Amino acid sequence: MSNLNQPVKIGTITLDNMTVFAPLAGITNLPMRLMAKEEGCGLVCSEMVSSYGLVYKSRKTQKIMDSDVREKPLSVQIFGAEPAVMAQAAHMVEACGADILDINFGCSVRKILKSGSGSALMRTPDKAKAVIDAVRKAVRIPLTIKIRTGWDRSGSQAFETARIAEESGVDAIAVHPRLAHQGFGGRADWALIKAIKDRCRIPVIGNGDIATAEDAIRMQQETGCDAVMIGRGAIGNPWIFSQVLALSRGEEMETPTIDMRFDMMARYLGASVAYLGEESACYMLRSRLGWFVKGMPHSSRFREAIKHISSEADAIDVIENYRKVIRTADY
């Protein structure tokens, strides 16, 4: 059995264990990261941050940078394609107190690709190297990158990007083994994680299709990766981190009770209101609170009701009314 409870070192930073909460645009904000940390996650990552937004002091971008000492160590991910701008943004991230800086080489959203950022960098190795070199010179904190398979199934672009990264002083590489155009479709090719791990001396973090604690253990066993990065599997389910750690110790995993789910939902609501303000938080949570009721009876009824909340009190009423429904259901 793999022991994902072991510490892992990324540059000068030592993580308590080998679990990482993936950077997810629009999702891994401060309240979400704190939930993962409370469940034992070794490293939490910010949403991806625009290098231009940082340099030109966008209010929205600066809000994404908010952090809390309780979530440390924190990795902040930036994206962009202009070396000088990326270097300046990286310096600003370090000055804000981030423990690790990550460069996005994996986003395949059209808007990002058009700017030459994200997965587009994997098509242009010279530019990729220029970006990495500029950022590496700009900061002293550990530097990581997150990549995909690239644009063809051979994985050649992933191998080349990993080689450039290691030679340029990157401290770890996270690998999401899907093609750029796949998005989250199809299956993640874990064999690519192993292939990159076999080629690299720096830590390799595996990512993709970890929906359960058993998946995390299996990924580490099959690929030999130095840590596992969990993204969608942790949305509405922060307990996956404590389950991974328990299973890797050979202990029985705790399945969250109904009340644990609802209590976490209420805490997420309160933390989001405190972080964003009531109006913005309620707008955001209309689509997010439904994550916590996946698989529960009458969950469609809850998701419909939550679409209409306009205040924290409204949301609490919906949550508590649904809690009563679930308690009387055969669940």
Give me the active site residues, please. 107
Q: Are 35 and 256 in contact (CB under 8 A)?
A: no
Expressed in angstroms, the distance from the first to the final Cα of the chain is: 32
Element holding 206 (H helix, E strand) = strand 204-207
Report, in angstroms and rounded to the nearest whole number, the Rg of the chain calculated over CA atoms. 20
Which residue type, as a one-letter code, is found at position 219? M
C-alpha to C-alpha distances, 196 to 3, 97, 101, 174, 311, nearest whole angstrom? 21, 30, 21, 10, 48
- DSSP string covering 310-330, please? -SHHHHHHHHHHHHHHHHHS-
**Omega of the bond prior to 73 within 30 degrees of 0, cis?**
yes
3-state secondary structure of 152: coil
